[in-house]
Amino acid sequence: MSAQQSLKNRIPSELQIVASRLRDFLGEPRRGRKLPDPLELLIATVLSQNTNDLNSHKAFTNLKTRYPNFLSLAQVSPRKIEPLIKVGGIANKKSKTIVRLVRDVEAIFGKFDRRRLKKMERAKLIDDLCSLGGVGYKTAACVSLFALGDDDAFPVDTHVHRILNRIGIVREKTPDKTYLAVRDRIPRSRGYELHINLIRFGRRICTAQKPQCHECILFDVCRWKEKDVQHPGTPVQKNGKNADFMLLESV
Ligand code: SF4
* Structural domain total, the chain: 2
> For residue 212, which atom of ligand 1 is closest to its CA?
7
Which protein residue's CA is at the shortest distance from atom 2 of ligand 1? 213
**Residues in the ligand 1 pocket, defined by CB under 6 Å:** 166-167, 205-206, 211-213, 216, 218-219, 222, 224, 227
**Mutate-to-test residue for ligand 1 from 26, 206, 214, 236, highest number of ligand atoms within 8 A of CB:** 206
- Tell me 245's DSSP state: P
By the 10 Å C-beta count (0-12 exposed, 13-18 middle, 19+ buried), 191 is classed as buried
Cβ proximity of 8 and 223 under 8 Å: no
pTM metric for this prediction: 0.84
> Tens digit of pLDDT for each residue in 60-90?
999 999 999 999 999 999 999 999 999 999 9
User: 136 and 214: one domain?
Assistant: no
Centre of ligand 1 to C-alpha 13, Å, is: 18
Centre of ligand 1 to C-alpha 51, Å, is: 28
pLDDT band of residue 11 (cuts 50, 70, 90) is confident
Residue after which a domain boundary falls, among 127, 147, 167: 147
What does the pLDDT read at residue 149?
A: 95
How many residues belong to the chain?
251
> Tens digit of pLDDT for each residue in 88-132?
999 999 999 999 999 999 999 988 889 999 999 988 999 999 999
User: DSSP secondary structure string, 1-66?
Assistant: --HHHHHHHHHHHHHHHHHHHHHHHH------SSPPPHHHHHHHHHHTTTS-HHHHHHHHHHHHHH
Which protein residue's CA is at the shortest distance from atom 8 of ligand 1? 206
Question: Picking from 31-35, 149-153, 206-210, which range would have the lowest pLDDT averaged per residue?
Answer: 31-35
Residue after which a domain boundary falls, among 121, 147, 173: 147
User: 51 and 131: one domain?
Assistant: yes
Taking the C-alpha atoms of residue 226 and residue 113, their distance in angstroms, rounded to an integer, is: 47
What does the pLDDT read at residue 237?
A: 52
User: 141 and 159: one domain?
Assistant: no
Taking the C-alpha atoms of residue 128 and residue 124, their distance in angstroms, rounded to an integer, is: 6
Residue 57 lies in domain: 38-147
